[in-house]
Amino acid sequence: MLWAVYEQHLDPLAGKLPASNVLSTLFAAVPVVVLFWLLVPRRWLAPKAGAMAAFTALLVAILVYRMPVHMATMAFVDGALFGLLPVGWTIFNAMLLYNVTVLTGKFDIVRRSVAGLSGDARIQAILIAFAFGAFLEGAAGGGTPVAICGAIMVGLGFNPFLAAVLCLIANTSPVAYGGLGTPLITLTGVTGLPTETLSVMAGRQLPLLSFFIPLYMVKCMCSWKQTWEVWPALFVAGGSFAAFQFTFACIHLYVPSLVLYPMTDIGGGIFSLILTAIFLRFWKPRKEWHYDKTIPEKSTSPAALDPQDPHAAEAKALLSGNDAPPHASSHGSEPPLTVWNVTVAWFPFVLMSILLLLTGLVRQREGERKTLGPARIGPLETNYILPIPWLDGQSFRDSRLQEGGVSKAEEATFNFAWLTAPGTAVFVAAILSMMLLRMNQTQIRWVFQRTFFQMKIPIPTICFMLGLSYVTRYAGMDATLGFAFAGTGKLYPLFAPLLGWLGVFLTGTDAGSNALFGSLQKITATQIYNAGAFGGHLDLGQAQVLICTANSTGGVMGKMIDAQSIVVATAATNQLGKEADIFKSVVWHSIFLALIVGLMTLLQAYLAPFTGLVPHVPK
């Protein structure tokens, strides 16, 4: 029946086949396995692999989980729409703004101003990929840090392939506070736990990783000896960001009226960038290390592409749009850097940051006004919540996943945030920059044309991937996989971050992972607490806070391997067709860092004095 509701089942094959729970788990994992197989061994281009994986998810949802065809289709449409807005819209405009600075020659000044702080590639990576990237993650998220920082690093002379890898590794520990704290706010929405309490828990886990990430990132560039040569800069950059992250995440414990967690990454990134820049006025490494001289850069021109590479045709089509910009500045004679021209060169990014902050405040106000309706600008609302036909309120979670055993309908709405989506602020910044930098019609046309060419592969890929993740969510495949993790009992605190890691891989965002698995994490924490797993070290509220937060803090380590981030990285660094190679380069880093979060969570669950770091839920 067309309008019949759909009841999700953790074990859709129960009563039909022996060992049905194992088979159900295997079927739930099939779309992920197909994606891995096509992307890595088969080396399919990311959009094709994503499309096939999404089609596989639809087949499993319809044939195994018995989800009505129209509901499964609308679940895919819902995810694909989210891939377009806000994710694709943000990425497109981030690259548009970057291309504006390239065409007008301002990017070269940005590059030189950063290189002027230090000619050492190790320190440049810290300043751009880590500090500036954290700022962009806090202000926008959605792939913006990888897109912009990757492009800047290539412009500085970094090997494009490893520039992408370094940006992916750097874009981890700040992610839980990305987009003005959106992941933690989402986690509150599905768990009912106060965002301020979740922020304190995250603020007692992530600063350790934030301190460690710059060291880890530089070690991926060079030897241990060369890494220790810049340990003072690593200490200042990582330490300043970690201290700021801890302070802003937890300050409301000491000053209750001062809730600053949404600004954690933005303030931390700026603080780290400025403090490191000041420090570099008084300290320099004994010997500068230049990354581009260590590893030769491969050509990304169409003629240099291997004709046997299955990605060559698509990459050639993309690169054919990258003709020399009209009337671009010549780099033959570079004018000296002055306060004025450096300010003008950075102004498009400053303007973008200001507009992102303003729209972030509007989004925060929208959240506060949920009971009153969205904010308005004249006759228009700042966002429109559109129910997804045949899906909104029609898919019910398995009753075992609901507190009290009462099944609850899943909400399925598309937030048409035409004004407050991060991409809108970046688009306005790009348009204003075109006007302020006095670009002519030919130049504007070239900038848009180039950006469309650059995004014709990433954006479809993102839509397919998010469509896949929404099908797994509304069909219940995510819950089947999550329940398999829950069977680990007392070891579950070790595996809870890995479940968040899986969620980010599936959805592409930490907020998406929290939406997928946050409720399950809370229910599982309750189940293992009632079974005596925590041994009296934590009360029930603490156990729920620890496990649910671990979904977000562990999930951030999956950010470097989700398809959205990898495709954005390849687009920003002109590495189209190298998605599988980049994935293989970062996957072990991702697993290692996620396991560190798991061990940290295990210690905080069972071993004093680490258990004292888990905050209580306010009565």
Vertex 127: Cα angle to 248 and 293 (nearest 5): 160
Strands (E), 63-151: none
Burial annotation 466-485 (CB, 10 A radius, 16+ → b, else e) = bbbbbbbbbbbbbbbbbbbb
Mean pLDDT by 10 residues, the chain (619 residues): 74 84 91 82 80 94 94 92 80 83 85 78 90 78 74 82 88 82 79 87 93 92 90 94 92 78 82 91 86 42 44 41 50 75 88 77 59 67 85 82 65 82 86 94 92 82 82 85 76 90 78 77 82 82 92 90 77 75 88 94 91 87
For residue 387, give the 3-state DSSP assignment.
strand
Q: For position 67, what pLDDT does the model report?
A: 94
Query: What is the Cα 534 distance to its own chain's centre?
Result: 31
Exposure of 186 in the CB half-sphere (CA atoms within 13 A): 20
Residue pair 559/172 in contact by the 8 Å Cβ criterion? yes
Q: Which residue has the tokens 């041994």?
A: 535
Give the amino acid at 79: G
Instruction: Please tell me what DSSP assigns to residue 297.
Output: P
CA distance linking residue 305 with residue 298, whole number of Å: 10
Strands (E), 317-389: 376-377, 380-381, 384-387
Q: For position 304, what pLDDT does the model report?
A: 42
The CA dihedral of 128, 130, 134, 136, to the nearest 10 degrees, is: 20
Count other Cβ atoms within 10 Å, centred on residue 70: 14
The model's pLDDT over 45-54, given as tens digits with 9 standing for 90+, comes to 778 888 999 9
Q: For position 589, what pLDDT does the model report?
A: 92
Count other Cβ atoms within 10 Å, centred on residue 19: 9
Q: For position 401, what pLDDT does the model report?
A: 63
| Beta strands 380-381; 376-377: pairing state | antiparallel
Residue pair 48/35 in contact by the 8 Å Cβ criterion? no
Give the amino acid at 500: G
Q: For position 300, what pLDDT does the model report?
A: 40
CA distance linking residue 152 with residue 132, whole number of Å: 11
CA distance linking residue 46 with residue 336, whole number of Å: 43
H/E stretch holding 524 reads helix 510-530
Q: Which residue has the tokens 């350790």?
A: 208
SS3 for 464-511 is HHHHHHHHHHHHCHHHHHHHHHHCCHHHHHHHHHHHHHHHHHHHCCHH
If we measure between CA atoms, which residue out of 508, 447, 575 comes closest to residue 103?
A: 447
Provide the H-helix boundaries in 173-252. Answer: 178-191, 195-203, 206-219, 224-228, 231-250
Q: Which residue has the tokens 């579950």?
A: 492
Residue pair 197/524 in contact by the 8 Å Cβ criterion? no
- Rounded to 10 deg, the angle between the 540-555 and 178-191 helix axes is 140
The model's pLDDT over 343-352, given as tens digits with 9 standing for 90+, comes to 998 898 888 8
Q: Which two tokens stand for residue 616?
A: 């209580």
Query: What is the Cα 234 distance to its own chain's centre?
Result: 23
CA distance linking residue 287 with residue 296, whole number of Å: 20
Q: For position 15, what pLDDT does the model report?
A: 78
Q: Which residue has the tokens 């989210």?
A: 82
For residue 377, give the 3-state DSSP assignment.
strand
If we measure between CA atoms, which residue out of 570, 507, 556 comes closest to residue 137?
A: 556
